[in-house]
Amino acid sequence: MNKTTKRLLFAVLILLLFLLTVYFVLALYYREGFSLNTWINGVYCTGKTVEEVNSELLSHTEAPDVVIVDKAGEKYTITLADVDYHADFSSALEAYRQEQNPYLWVDNVLFHSRRTLAPAVTVDEEALRRAYNALDFVQTEQKRIKDYSLTRDAEGAYVFTDGLSDRIDLEKAFLALKQIVENGQETLNLQESGCYYEITPDESQKALRNLWKEIERFQTCDIVYCFGEERHPMTAADCAFFLTAENGLPVQDEKGSFVLDEEAVTAYVQSLAEEYDGYGRTRQFRSTRGDVITIDGGTYGSKMDRKKETAYLLEHLLDPGVHTGTPQSHIPSYEREAFCYGKNDIGDTYIEVDMTEQKMYYYEKGVLKLETEIVTGNMRRRMGTPEGVNFVYNKQKNRVLRGPGYASPVKFWMPVKGGIGIHDAGWRKEFGGDIYQTAGSHGCINTPKDKMEELFDCVQIGTPVVMFY
C-alpha cells in the first residue's frame, strides 16, 4: 500500500470519526429536547425543552369559546376566560418527545416533523356550572313541564305543550361539556353526545296528543267574513270559544265530533254585528267645510241577519271542508242592505247636506262632482230638516208632493227618509244663506232645477245622504 492510499484511507477514517462524533453529539443534545425540524402547533421546537416549548405555546394560547349545539342547530356559547381557564401542554409535549428517537434525528434532515397538540385544560368547575346554568336552553329545560299539557292562552285559544319530546338530560350535558373542555375541544353536540332522553308516551298521553291534533285542525278555520273591502278572519281563540268544554277540555260526542256551544256562536255573531253593522251607528264624518261631525241616527246602514248567520256557523263549523288552511270568503246575510259595507260604510260616493252652510255636495269615488246652494226645512216653524245618515231609496220624475195645505209639483224627486227628500223647487228664485231660518221648506231639501237634474242623473238608488248642521 503506497503512501497516497494510506493518506486517503486515513482522511476517510478521520471524516467518519468526525461525522460519528457530530451524530452522537447531536443525538445526546436531542435527548434533552425535541429533534431536528420539529414543529408543534406552528412553533419551531428543535433542541428546545418541554418547558421552553410549553411556555412558548402558552404565550400564543388564548382562552377559547366553547359552543354547545342542540338538536335544532341552535348554538349557545360559553367563554372559558370567564371560568378561570388554564392550559398546559407539558404532558402532551413530554409524550411526544418520548415518541422521538434522538438517534434517528437524521430522518428529519429532509422531512419536517409537524404535530398539532391539544393542551390539558383546567377550569373552575363551579364557575363553569354557573355559566352553563345561565344558558337559555338550560333555563328553558329547567322550567319545562315534564309532560303533555293542553291549556288556554291569554286570548283563549287552546295550546299544546309537549314536555316529553326533545328533553335534555342537563346533568349529562354538563358532564359532557366538562369533558370536552378538559380535552381542549371547542364544540359539544348534544344529540351526538347522547344528551337527549328517549321517552315513550303512555296511552293517556297519546290520547291527549291526538285530541290536540283535532283541536289544532278545528282552530284553523277557513271562514273569512267579508264586509266590503274589509276582511275579518276567525282566530284560533274565536274557534276555541265555540267548543263546549268540561274540566278545561273540549267535549266530544259518541262519534268523536266536538260539541258546539250555541251561546258562544250566537255571541260571536252578535259581536260581528256590533262591530260592522251600520244601521243605527254613531258616525264620525269629515265635512267638506273641514271639521269632523258626529252624526247619530238615520235610515242608512247594513244590519246583519243574526239568526241566519248563527245558523250558518252552527251548520258549517264542524265541516272538515272549512278547516283546510285555505281561506274561504263569506258574505253574511243581511236584514238591511247598504250601498257600502264595513266600518266606513259611507264610502267615497255620497251626498253631503250641510244645513248650517246651506250647501249640498255630491262625491263620486272621492271626486267632487256637484256643489250647490240649497234651502232646507223652516226653522222658525219647527220644520227643520233632521240630521242623520240616510239614503236615496227611490227616484221619480214629475211628482206632486202633497202635505197639509200644499201640493207642489216637482220635476225630480229623490226621497231619503220617509216623506223628506231632495227635489227641485222652481218656485224659488234664491237659494242658500239664511233663507231656511224663516222661509225654509216643509223639511225637504230644495235644490235649483238645473243642479237637481244633474244630480238626479248621477245618483243611484241606495246612495248615502249625510245630513248635518
Residue 290's contacts (CB-CB under 8 Å, 6 or more residues apart) are none
C-alpha pair distances (Å), 167 with each of 170, 173, 174, 259, 406: 9, 11, 14, 35, 89
What mean pLDDT do residues 283-296 have?
A: 96
Q: In what order do the strands lie in the sheet with 230-233?
A: 230-233, 223-227, 328-330
**pLDDT value of residue 160:** 95
Question: For all residues of the chain together, what is the average pLDDT?
Answer: 91
The cell numbers describing 138, all together, are 338550560
Predicted confidence (pLDDT) at residue 6 exceeds the cutoff of 70: no
Task: Render 238-299 in DSSP notation, one character per residue.
Answer: HHHHTB-EETTEE-B-TTSPBPB-HHHHHHHHHHHHHHH--TT--EEEE-TTS-EEEE---S
The cell numbers describing 268, all together, are 260571536
Predicted confidence (pLDDT) at residue 108 exceeds the cutoff of 60: no
pLDDT in tens, 312-334: 999 999 999 999 999 999 999 99
Task: Render 84-135 in DSSP notation, one character per residue.
Answer: T-EEE-HHHHHHHHHHS-GGGGGGGTTS-EEE--PPEEE--HHHHHHHHHTS
User: Per-domain residue ranges for the chain?
Assistant: 3-62+87-121, 221-336, 350-468
What mean pLDDT do residues 458-462 have?
A: 97
**pLDDT value of residue 112:** 61
Rounded to 5 degrees, what are φ and ψ at 218? Answer: -65, -40
In angstroms, rounded to a whole number, what is the distance separating the alpha carbons of residues 184 and 119? 6
Which of 86-90, 145-149, 310-314, 383-387 bottoms out in mean pLDDT, i.e. has the lowest?
Answer: 145-149
What mean pLDDT do residues 398-423 have?
A: 94
Q: What confidence tier does 453 reach under pLDDT thresholds 50, 70, 90?
A: very high
In angstroms, rounded to a whole number, what is the distance separating the alpha carbons of residues 74 and 249? 34
**pLDDT value of residue 423:** 98
Return the closest-CA partner of residue 347 out of 355, 338, 334: 338
CATH level 3 topology of 221-336: Ubiquitin-like (UB roll) (3.10.20)
Helical axes 136-143 vs 170-182, angle rounded to 10°: 160
**pLDDT value of residue 146:** 85
**pLDDT value of residue 60:** 87
Q: Find cell 237659494 and name the residue.
A: 431
**pLDDT value of residue 2:** 67
Contact 331, 345 (CB under 8 A): no
Return the closest-CA partner of residue 443 out of 466, 416, 464: 416
In this prediction, what percent of the chain has a pLDDT beyond 90?
Answer: 76
Rounded to 5 degrees, what are φ and ψ at 211? Answer: -60, -40
What mean pLDDT do residues 389-404 have?
A: 95
Residue 16's contacts (CB-CB under 8 Å, 6 or more residues apart) are none
Q: What confidence tier does 33 reach under pLDDT thresholds 50, 70, 90?
A: confident
In angstroms, rounded to a whole number, what is the distance separating the alpha carbons of residues 52 and 39? 13
Predicted confidence (pLDDT) at residue 88 exceeds the cutoff of 60: yes
What mean pLDDT do residues 421-445 have?
A: 96
Q: Which helix (H) or strand (E) holds 453?
A: helix 449-458
Contact 390, 406 (CB under 8 A): no
Which of 12-16, 81-85, 372-376 bottoms out in mean pLDDT, i.e. has the lowest?
Answer: 12-16
What mean pLDDT do residues 230-253 have?
A: 96
Q: What confidence tier does 107 reach under pLDDT thresholds 50, 70, 90?
A: low
Predicted confidence (pLDDT) at residue 406 exceeds the cutoff of 60: yes
Sign of CA dihedral 345, 347, 349, 350: positive
**pLDDT value of residue 42:** 86
**pLDDT value of residue 222:** 96
What mean pLDDT do residues 324-353 have?
A: 96
Between 106 and 417, name the one with better pLDDT: 417
Is the pTM above the cut of 0.85?
no
Which of 103-107, 117-121, 254-258 bottoms out in mean pLDDT, i.e. has the lowest?
Answer: 103-107
What mean pLDDT do residues 211-226 have?
A: 96
In this prediction, what percent of the chain has a pLDDT beyond 70?
Answer: 90
Instruction: Specify which residues 44 forms β-bridges with.
Output: 39
In angstroms, rounded to a whole number, what is the distance separating the alpha carbons of residues 287 and 65? 67
For residue 356, give the 3-state DSSP assignment. Answer: coil
CATH level 3 topology of 350-468: L,D-transpeptidase catalytic domain-like (2.40.440)
pLDDT in tens, 152-172: 999 999 999 998 889 999 999
Between 46 and 427, name the one with better pLDDT: 427
Predicted confidence (pLDDT) at residue 301 exceeds the cutoff of 90: yes
Residue 392's contacts (CB-CB under 8 Å, 6 or more residues apart) are 351, 414, 415, 416, 422, 459, 460, 461, 462, 463, 465
Predicted confidence (pLDDT) at residue 308 exceeds the cutoff of 80: yes
C-alpha pair distances (Å), 248 with each of 149, 163, 242, 317, 328: 11, 19, 14, 20, 30
What mean pLDDT do residues 16-44 have?
A: 67
**pLDDT value of residue 403:** 84
What mean pLDDT do residues 125-150 have?
A: 93
**pLDDT value of residue 263:** 97
Predicted confidence (pLDDT) at residue 99 exceeds the cutoff of 70: yes
C-alpha pair distances (Å), 159 with each of 40, 140, 174, 219: 57, 18, 31, 10
In angstroms, rounded to a whole number, what is the distance separating the alpha carbons of residues 64 and 87? 11
**pLDDT value of residue 114:** 81
Predicted confidence (pLDDT) at residue 336 exceeds the cutoff of 60: yes
Q: What confidence tier does 145 reach under pLDDT thresholds 50, 70, 90?
A: confident
Exposed, middle or buried, 455 (CB in 10 Å: 0-12/13-18/19+)?
buried
pLDDT in tens, 124-133: 999 999 999 9
**pLDDT value of residue 49:** 86
Contact 138, 216 (CB under 8 A): no
Sign of CA dihedral 27, 32, 33, 34: positive
